[in-house]
Amino acid sequence: MESQPRSDKVRVQFGTGSAGVELRSEMAKPVASEQNAPHVPVLLDEVLAALTPLDGARIVDGTFGAGGYSRALLEAGASVVGIDRDPSVMPFADALKQQFPSRFSFVAGAFAELDQLAHGPVDGVVLDIGVSSMQLDEADRGFSFMREGPLDMRMAGEGESAADLVNSLDEADLANLLFAYGEERKSRRIAHSIVAARAAQPIATTTELARLIEKAIGRKPGDAHPATRSFQALRIAVNDEFGQLVEGLFASERLLGEGGRLAVVTFHSLEDRIVKRFFDPGKGGPTQSRHLPQVVAEERRWVDVAKSVKASSAETARNPRARSATLRSARRSSAPARSVSFAGLGVPRFSGAA
């Protein structure tokens, strides 16, 4: 998923990892906004612990959002550089600037370029991947199927919208998108229904698409809304979220010096797998035969790789968004940063059709 404009037609390609695309159930769970969750940062205590010591440290919050992590870091004595590409976060950034004028600064931009936006030295980076509850709660942003709004989903307000993809991709490409990015097993049936419906008139709103999907695949009592996976897939494609994640991880590797700490919170298995393999590439590749010449192990860029951390039952009760969150963290070694590469990370990618 290279950072480049997508053509009108796209095809799904899969990363070179041996595991392919894993099918998990986490993505089918309802999003937090459906539970009217407040804008609470998930795994906050665990993130702070992963970035400790904080007093006097300089931390980059690469996904600023409503500023929850930044505020906690500032209150713990750190200086913080907040980064976000969503213009709607500015009131939160302005509030922190007023309260911590000497220790907080904000830079508009994508965390994929955080090493260019926040110059060193830096002691730590935190990334909270995915859409925020405040974005889901704003109907006119078009992220949520629970609210009537334009079918948009653009975090930065520019580029192709979800409506553009829904109304322009051919049926096979649309089905592949929903399967690869949403793990939607009924993607072909949904794509067929979308193409049939848009022949009469373009699909323009969130609720229109949600109703169409529900009609196409049905809904069982107690299950998540049938549009959950499809909306997530479209959002990921519109915002190049996997490409941004990979670029952001390598940007953090370039920015952080020896001993620097990186904490990443993800919300579904595809994102978590990318981070896991990034920190420990040896666990993502194929097993080497003992009959072949042994390859010299590449120098590790990350050490003290922590075990993955999930939210406690108490936190998920307070904040439903936390139930699918996973934290991974590690400390930077002295090895030189690698060139950006998607190989071995198992990233589903789009490339322009010929």
pLDDT digits (tens, 9 = 90+) for 151-176: 988 877 778 999 999 999 999 999 99
d(C-alpha 108, C-alpha 73), whole Å:
19
- Average pLDDT score, the chain: 83
| pTM above threshold 0.95 | no
pLDDT at res. 157: 74
Q: What is the pLDDT of residues 71-104, one digit of tens each?
A: 999 999 999 999 998 888 999 999 999 999 999 9
In this structure, of 47-51, 63-67, 144-148, 314-318, the range with the lowest mean pLDDT score is 144-148
Which CATH architecture group holds 147-238?
Orthogonal Bundle (1.10)
Listing DSSP states for 231-275 in one string gives HHHHHHHHTTHHHHHHHHHHHHHHH--TT-EEEEEESSHHHHHHH
d(C-alpha 156, C-alpha 158), whole Å:
6
Contacts 24+ apart (CB under 8 A), 47-53: 47/126, 47/263, 47/265, 47/327, 47/329, 48/72, 48/73, 48/76, 50/261, 50/263, 50/306, 50/327, 50/329, 51/78, 51/123, 51/124, 51/126, 51/261, 51/263, 51/329
Domain boundaries, the chain: 35-133+241-352, 147-238
Residue from 43, 81, 133 nearest 252 by CA:
81
Other Cβ atoms less than 10 A from the Cβ of 202: the count is 14
Residue with tokens 């990015």: 181
Residue with tokens 């794509």: 191
Name the fold adopted by 35-133+241-352. Answer: Rossmann fold (3.40.50)
